[in-house]
Structure 1
C-alpha cells in the first residue's frame, strides 16, 4: 500500500525509504513548511541548542550490571513500595534475585537492548526535529535511565560538559518514553531528575526563581493516543496477523500486555491503567475492531496484590479452552527488553506450547514510531509549555511531599498553583 506523510510532517523531513503515511488525513490541517533553510547538527538556531532527554527505566547492558540494576530498582519506593523497611528489604530482595535475573539476561544475549534502541530512537528523532523546528536546533540527544547506565546524574554531567547549565543556561526537554503516565515510572524518573537538578544546580530561590544560568526544563509527560504511536502498533499487529491463514485471521485473539502495578498504587489513583486502556482502544479503533481482544498485565513481583489478569495466566487459560491463536502485543513498551524478549518470548510463549501463540514486533527502530516522536516533540516546542495540565494533578491518595515539590518545579511558575 502506498504510504503518505505521517500526521503532517513535511516531505523534506522524511527519509527516502519512508514515503508512507498514517492515513489520518492531517496534511491539510498542519503545515510546518518554512522558507528558512533547515538547521543541521552543526549550526544553531535562534533558540538553540536544545537537549532532548529520553527518560526510561533502562536495563543492564551486561550481566555484570544486573545486581546494581536490581538494587536501584528495589530501592525505589515509587516503583515497588515496601514501606519503612524499603532500605533494608530492597537490597535483600535484589541480592536474592540476582542469580535468576543474570540467567534470564544470559538467555537473551547477555544484556538488555534498551540502551541501544533508546539512543538510536533519540538520535533519529533529533535529526527530524532539526528540520521541523530549526529555531530550536540543534537538538542534542541524551538518555537518562532510572536504574542503569546512563543514570540521571551521568546524563546531567554530560549536559554540563556539552555547554548546558552552570551559568550558561540552555533548554532541555525531559521526554518520557513511557507513553502512559504512572507515578511508578515517569513520576519516578522525574522525581530523580528533580533531585539531581537541585543537587547540581541549586534549588529555586523563593520557590520560583531559577538560579542564574540554570538549565530551563520542560516535560513531555504522556502521549498514550498519539496517532503515530497508534499507527506503529497497528501496523505491527497487521503484519503478525498476516502470518495466520486467511480463514482463521479474524478469530485470532489480540492480547495487549502491559507492565502491571501493585494494587496499592492503583487504588491511590494512579492514571496508568486508564491510559493504557486508552492506547488499546485507540489501536483497536484504528484496526476497525477486526479481532477479539483483551488487556492483561505482566511482571508481577512479590506476594502483594497486583493489577491483573496476568498475561501468563491469560494465555494458559485461553489455550486450555481451545483458543490457540493468540497475538501478544507489548502495548506499554517502546522497545524490546527483558519483559518482551524473555518474559513474553521465552516464558509465556514457550509455556503455551502452541504454534498459534505469537508476538507482534516491538517498536524498536520503526520509522513511523520515530516520526511520531518527532511530531510530539515538535508540537511541545511550538507550544512552549512546561508540561501537560494533567501532570499538575497528583493522585487522589498521594501523600508524597517529594512528588508535590517535583510537580511544582516542572509545572513552572505559571501553573505551579494548580499542583495540589
Structure 2
C-alpha cells in the first residue's frame, strides 16, 4: 500500500480508497527507525535484577552452553546471589532523578536527537523509536507500536559499532521473532557494524582529545577497553575481535599517535573458558607495574555509558591500576549523545535508508 492508496481523514490514519465504509482505519505509510541497545533492569531491587539477569543470561547468544548444564547452575546458584551484587553496582550509578539506569536515559536522548535530525531531512515521514534487547521498552512492543503507526518499512539499528553474536546478532534475533508472529510483516533492514565508519572514528578521536585537554597532564597510555568474548568465538567465525582491533588502529591513526600510545584490552570476563585478551583489569595493573603513572581508558564498543563503563571501568578497573602503583586514571566517557556521535549515527542511518526515503 502506498500513500496514494490511502485517503487521509486525519493526521496519521485514513481509509483505503474505494474500501467499504466499515473498513477499519489504516495508518498512513511511514518508514520506521529503531535504535536497539542491550537492556536495563527496571529497578535495582532483588527481583527486578533477577528478572533482568535471567532474561540476559538465558539467551543462547550470550551463554551458549547446553540448557541441561547451564540452567540448573543459573537458576539455583547464580541467580540466588548475583542479583544482590549487580543491584549494588546499578545503585552506584542509578539516575535517581528519573529512577532509571543511565543507559536508558542516554538512549532516550540519543533517540530524540536522531529523530530531530531525520525530521529535518525527511519531515514526518520517518518515525524514530528505541528498544532494549532485555528489559523495557521491549523489542516486541516497539516494533508492534511502529507497525500500528503505519511503518511498513523498518530500519533496525543495533547500537553496537563492532558486530558480535552476543550483541548485534541477538538484537536482530529478537526483532525477527516479532516478525514471525505478525500477520502483516513490515519490510525490515538491519544495520551492519559501523566499527570503521569515518564519522564514528572522528567522534572517538574528538572525545579523546577533549579528555586529554581537560586533564592536568596528558595520560601516558590510552587503553581501548572492549567487552570480552570467549576465544572460541573467534575460531567459530565471529568477527568481533578483529573489528575491535581495527577500531583501535583507526582511532590511533586518526589521533596521529605512535602504536604503543593506544592499546587494546577486553573486560567483563567470566567463567572457566579462555577469553580474548588481554583482560583490561590485569592489563592496567601491568601498565602500573611497568611505571606508567597516568593512563586513560575509553570504551569504543559501547555507544552509551552503562554499568560496564561507569561501574566496572571507572571503579573496578581504576582500582586495579591504582593498587598496582598507578597515580592518575582518566576515564573517557562513551560517545553518548554528543553531537558528533549523533551525526555519525545519522550518516549510518541515511546510508541504510537509501531507496526508502
* Same-fold call, TM cutoff 0.5: yes
Residues 383 and 327 of structure 1: CA distance in aligned 2, closer, same or farther (over 3 Å): farther
The question of whether the paired residues in 1 share the 8 Å contact of 2:284 and 2:320 is answered with no
How far apart, CA to CA, are the structure 1 residues paired with 2:201 and 2:29? Answer: 30
Give RMSD over aligned pairs. Answer: 2.3
| Aligned equivalent of 1:179 | 161
> Which of the pair is proportionally richer in strand?
2
Does 1:148 pair with 2:140?
Answer: no
Q: What is the CA deviation profile of residues 94-121 of structure 1, one whole-angstrom value per residue up to 9, with x for unaligned ones?
A: 3331111011111113652111111211
How far apart, CA to CA, are the structure 2 residues paired with 1:370 and 1:95? Answer: 40
The question of whether the paired residues in 2 share the 8 Å contact of 1:61 and 1:115 is answered with no
| Aligned equivalent of 1:236 | 207
| Aligned equivalent of 1:11 | none
How far apart, CA to CA, are the structure 2 residues paired with 1:179 and 1:198? Answer: 27
Residues 147 and 289 of structure 1: CA distance in aligned 2, closer, same or farther (over 3 Å): same
| Aligned equivalent of 1:372 | 344
Q: Note the C-alpha offset of 1:161.
A: 4.0
Residues 352 and 326 of structure 1: CA distance in aligned 2, closer, same or farther (over 3 Å): same
The question of whether the paired residues in 2 share the 8 Å contact of 1:71 and 1:95 is answered with no
Which of 54, 62, 75 in structure 2 is aligned with 1:91?
75
The question of whether the paired residues in 2 share the 8 Å contact of 1:175 and 1:220 is answered with yes
Q: What is the CA deviation profile of residues 68-94 of structure 1, one whole-angstrom value per residue up to 9, with x for unaligned ones?
A: 110011101111222242443333423
Residues 257 and 221 of structure 1: CA distance in aligned 2, closer, same or farther (over 3 Å): same
The question of whether the paired residues in 1 share the 8 Å contact of 2:195 and 2:244 is answered with yes
How many equivalent pairs are there? 321
How far apart, CA to CA, are the structure 2 residues paired with 1:112 and 1:67? Answer: 16
Q: 1:216-295 alignment to 2 at 5 Å?
A: 216-244=187-215, 249=218, 252-289=220-257, 292-295=261-264
The question of whether the paired residues in 1 share the 8 Å contact of 2:30 and 2:150 is answered with no
SS at match of 2:165: coil
Q: What is the CA deviation profile of residues 366-404 of structure 1, one whole-angstrom value per residue up to 9, with x for unaligned ones?
A: 00000111111111112559xxxxxxxxxxxxxxxxxxx
Which of 104, 107, 112 in structure 2 is aligned with 1:123?
112
How far apart, CA to CA, are the structure 1 residues paired with 2:51 and 2:301? Answer: 24
How far apart, CA to CA, are the structure 2 residues paired with 1:131 and 1:109? Answer: 33
| Aligned equivalent of 2:93 | 108
Residues 146 and 263 of structure 1: CA distance in aligned 2, closer, same or farther (over 3 Å): same
The question of whether the paired residues in 2 share the 8 Å contact of 1:51 and 1:171 is answered with yes
| Aligned equivalent of 2:328 | 356
The question of whether the paired residues in 1 share the 8 Å contact of 2:229 and 2:276 is answered with yes
| Aligned equivalent of 1:79 | 62
SS at match of 1:382: coil
Does 1:60 pair with 2:41?
Answer: yes
The question of whether the paired residues in 1 share the 8 Å contact of 2:12 and 2:149 is answered with no
| Aligned equivalent of 2:8 | none
Name structure 1 gaps, 5 residues minimum: 1-41, 165-169, 203-212, 386-420
Residues 120 and 243 of structure 1: CA distance in aligned 2, closer, same or farther (over 3 Å): closer
